[in-house]
Amino acid sequence: MSNIAEYIRQLHENERRAYPRTLKPAERGCAFETLRGVRAVVVDIYGTMVNYWRPGFEERGRREEMLVRAFAEVADRFRMDEVLAKMNPQDPPAKTLNDFYNGLIALNHQKFASKGVEYPEVRVEEVWAVIVMMLKRNGYDAGALVPGGEAILPRCLAAAYNFFSMGRELYPGVSGALKKLKADNIVLGILSDAQFYTPIDLTLYFRDQSGGNIGDYNELFDVDLTFFSYEYGFVKPAEILFRRLAEALQRYHITPAQTVFAGNDFSADLAPAAAIGMRTALFCGDDIMVFGGGKNTVPDIVFNSWEELPGLISFHGEEG
């Protein structure tokens, strides 16, 4: 296991955090009751498989306060407070760190926009690397605080902020549903916005939910049908991601019409999947995580819980 994977594992196991809330299904219509002739199911991660929402996020002001508190935990954990106060005496260290982080991301987006690039992905470890450089110029030295030293410090910072800021669990029934689909000879893939820590997190989540029966997320998903945004430099609904997915499916002799894309967002998930001929499944089990939709955006099927999905999709039968 790499140093960064071990660091994330220790956070996950030693400082586990639960954010319980009652899930309320959303009401959405669909075109079909079931889908047959399915050979592949490709899924989104955040808001579809992973419940990252924390109680309070629905109120913008409170959500911003919670995220600033996550920056406060990072600053304290990595002994940044004194240097941040030196750099900006007018504001609390957590706010300064928040402003650095979000300001750098905004600058990256402006740079891409000026070049006409749509849907760019920013690698968060590169943002943290710039922050570390700024802090070092003001006397910061934290290489000894993490395993592997300064070389992996930006990744540790990124992973820690992700850990402190977001909810961290699979929706109920995800692992069991995917195992059933795989047992029905359906190939499984992922296409999702993600960062370097996402695959590590997924393995930990699947281990938790399966009671250790799933040791790695790749035991479920085919590596050649796994597409993470950080590896390509674009986020959904960028055409390049879905085009690469279609090309990979072709190598399996699987057509888009034999593929179901499961997601929680009409614009980012379902619309670009449907545009290349895939069938679509909308996860409606968490109403605050269902985005978009209208008269012309009806999914092929909807599922209100992951336990339902294997009963709605079958490898057997005719397409359509």
Structure tokens that stand for 179 in this block: 């195992």
List the alpha helices (DSSP H) in the chain.
3-14, 60-77, 81-87, 93-114, 124-136, 153-165, 174-183, 197-209, 229-232, 239-251, 271-275, 309-312
pLDDT tens digits, one per residue of 136-184: 999 998 767 777 778 899 999 999 999 999 999 999 999 999 999 999 9
Given pLDDT bands bounded at 50, 70 and 90, which one contains residue 40? very high
pLDDT tens digits, one per residue of 185-231: 999 999 999 999 999 999 999 999 999 999 999 999 999 999 999 99
The four Cα atoms 59, 60, 65, 70 give a dihedral, to 10 degrees, of: 100
Q: What is the pLDDT of residue 294?
A: 64
Which DSSP state fits 27?
-
End-to-end Cα separation, the chain, in angstroms: 44
CB environment 122-136: b (16+ within 10 A), e (fewer): bbbbebbbebbeebe
Q: What is the pLDDT of residue 2?
A: 85
Q: What is the pTM of this model?
A: 0.95
Q: Return the number of other C-beta atoms located less than 10 Å from residue 54's C-beta.
A: 18
**In this structure, which topology does domain 10-52+169-312 adopt according to CATH?**
Rossmann fold (3.40.50)
Give the domain ranges of the chain: 10-52+169-312, 60-165
Which residue, chain included where needed, has tokens 């999947």? 273
Structure tokens that stand for 242 in this block: 């879905």
